[in-house]
Homo-oligomer: A and B are copies of this chain.
Amino acid sequence: MGIKVDELSDHADETVEPERRTRADRLAADLADAILSGGFAAGARLDEHGLAERYGVSRTPVREALRQLAATGLIEMRPRRGAFVASITDDALSELFVAMGELEATCARLAALSMNPLERRRLESLHGSMAGMIERGEEEDYAEANRAFHHAIYAGAHNGVLLDIANSLRRRLDPFRQAQFRASGRLEKSHHEHDLVVRAILSGDCAGAHARMLDHVHSVEHAVGQLKTRAAPLR
């Protein structure tokens, strides 16, 4: 099941190959990036013909890409009425955070039980390196390391199904998580919460790992909520 992982990872590991993946697949990835980075407004209509012209392909791969995205929940398709960027209501966002929290807490619990010594050492080392980033104010690096941190815990659960679910939820929440890093003092608080999670996992305290991770995600949700009261949602 380890194979499945790098099928999903669409980074530039391919060098010159004259297109291994299909246009539809690459289009889906491109569109997902564009949507998640705010290139399309929430609720915006995704016109097949327009997208086809814009990306220089025919409507067929566009339609297939849209189907893929619809399956992830990133867009919504209504028969004969087209595709729209899924707009997240406050309630839906809250449900997403609750689900994400439960999933992450579950992974943390399983990780406390299943991680092998190497995985535990790597998690500890990654967590340790993040302290320095905070001191040096390296927000970008911290955000990236944060992703790796959470991913390490998903992977530590040793369950491909949960890994896939967690990744897909995280992708949808990432834009919101990103924003809260800019709240003052948030990085320190986040790191402290991580610390509690790591200690619980390393000591094999599965109930503690569950509880601490739940706390952490709730805290992230709270920070996002605070942000939204001041500024408009970021997409």
Does A91 touch B at the CB level, under 8 Å? Answer: yes
Pick the contact of A169: B20, B95, B161 (CB < 8 A). Answer: B161
User: What sequence of 0s and 1s flags, for each residue 113-133 of chain A, a beta carbon within 8 Å of any chain B beta carbon?
Assistant: 000000000000000000000
Q: Smallest Cβ distance from A127 to chain B, in angstroms?
A: 24
Interface of A is mostly: helix
In the bound complex, CA of A165 to CA of B72 (Å): 11
Stretch at the interface among A61-69, A136-144, A181-189, A224-232: A61-69
Does A198 touch B at the CB level, under 8 Å? Answer: no
In the bound complex, CA of A99 to CA of B22 (Å): 31
Question: Is A106 within 8 A of B102, CB to CB?
Answer: yes
Q: Which residues of B contact A21 (CB under 8 A)?
A: 79
Interface residues of A in 160-177 (CB under 8 A from B): 160-162, 165, 169
**Complex: chain B residue closest to A64, CB-CB:** B67
Pick the contact of A79: B20, B60, B67, B110 (CB < 8 A). Answer: B20
The total of chain A residues at the interface (CB under 8 A) is 29
Pick the contact of A95: B20, B68, B91, B160 (CB < 8 A). Answer: B160
Does A46 touch B at the CB level, under 8 Å? Answer: no
Given A22-B80, A67-B68; 15 other pairs, CB 8 A cutoff: A1-B95, A20-B79, A21-B79, A22-B79, A60-B60, A64-B67, A92-B160, A95-B161, A95-B162, A98-B159, A98-B162, A99-B161, A99-B162, A102-B106, A161-B169
Partner-B contacts on A (CB < 8 A): 1, 20-22, 25, 60, 63-64, 67-68, 71-72, 79-80, 91-92, 95-96, 98-99, 102, 106, 110, 159-162, 165, 169
